[in-house]
Amino acid sequence: IAGLNAVAQAAGKKYFGSATDNPELTDTAYVAILSDNTQFGQLTPGNSMKWYATEPEQGTFDFTGGQQIVSLAQQNKQLMRGHNCVWYNELPSWLTSGTFNATELTSIVSTHCGTIVGHWKDSWDIINEPFNDDGTWRSDVFYNTLGSDFVSVALNAASAADPSTKLYMNDYNIENPGVKATAMQNLVKSLKSAGVKIDGIGFESHFIVGEIPADIQQNMEAFVALGVEVSITELDIRMTLPSTDALLEQQKQDYQTVISACMAVEGCAGMTIWDYTDKYSWVPSTFSGQGAACPWDENLVKKPAYDGIAAALQG
């Protein structure tokens, strides 16, 4: 077949894309595949647009790492997804160790989101992982100081900086209906009724082989019914190592199931895998004994999962 992105676009989706990270860009064989825009029509920087990287000192912005990936995407005629603006993790120490009151933190969030969205336009994960798995708000510096208002502060600053950028909220364990998905849906409703711009919801989709949520498609439709688009933003499907033919076959079916859900929902804009190769997956360093989560193996050879994705894109 033509590449994954070419097939996705022919079927009416905006893109099929991949995350990447700056240290990987010295690997020329890796970059050659990443840069093939018939394969990938969109890139997400895995780390270099996070707060610690973009505003390491208060009010001092560093665009170098992010720009390296944006420039590569532009050179390859690929879309860019900004990741991310407000997240509890990977914050600079000036922010986590400072004691800011509500007025000060409002200004800090507004300046940060306005500046980075004004600098790199396209689509952005403005709010990242705001909820606990039980649907309550995550306790972090933003919620603890501003309550849920931090969400509208960030979205309003981003929308003022660039009205055409698609503004997203992104989370995991919202792919299936449940308390966490409901919390996100309630947030969408309250933002919309308050007139705050929210364009989309990211389903991260870090899954486990054989344990794909059963109702992804139905749940996508529930979000779309609220007047937002959805995207699959960080898809990977890990297994307990060593990988076997049976696990790889199950993984192929699982990728096919997830991609098919997006293809079946008109309001699902696009799909991004959280890097395309096992060589650079985040999984083994986070989940001991697990890995092989991506559609290309450590030697940059396509796995059965690739064919599962291709089959789903072709419909």
Say if strands 42-45 and 79-86 run parallel, antiparallel, or are unpaired.
parallel
Q: Which of 57, 90, 104, 266 binds ligand G3I (CB under 6 A)?
A: 90
Nearest to 281 by CA among 19, 33, 44: 19
Point out which residues pair with 255 in neighbouring strands. none
First to last CA, the chain: 13
Q: Which residues from 280-299 bind ligand G3I, rule CB under 6 A?
A: 282
Please provide the DSSP assignment of 233-273 as one string.
EEEEEEEESSP-HHHHHHHHHHHHHHHHHHHH-TTEEEEEE
| Interaction of residue 89 with ligand G3I, rule CB under 6 A | yes
| Interaction of residue 207 with ligand G3I, rule CB under 6 A | no
Residue closer to ligand G3I by CB (options 44, 260) is: 44
Task: Copy the structure tokens of residue 103.
Answer: 């007025």
| Interaction of residue 93 with ligand G3I, rule CB under 6 A | no
Residue 89 Cβ vs ligand G3I, minimum distance, rounded to whole Å: 6
Residue closer to ligand G3I by CB (options 47, 217) is: 47
Residue closer to ligand G3I by CB (options 3, 276) is: 276
Residue 217 Cβ vs ligand G3I, minimum distance, rounded to whole Å: 22
| Interaction of residue 204 with ligand G3I, rule CB under 6 A | yes
Using an 8 Å Cβ cutoff, are 116 and 82 in contact? Answer: yes
| Interaction of residue 47 with ligand G3I, rule CB under 6 A | yes
Distance, CA of 85 to CA of 94 (rounded, Å): 16
- Of the residues 24, 234, 266, 298, only one is catalytic, namely 234
Q: Return the active site residues.
A: 234
Query: Rule CB under 6 A: which residues touch ligand G3I?
Result: 46-47, 89-90, 204, 234, 282
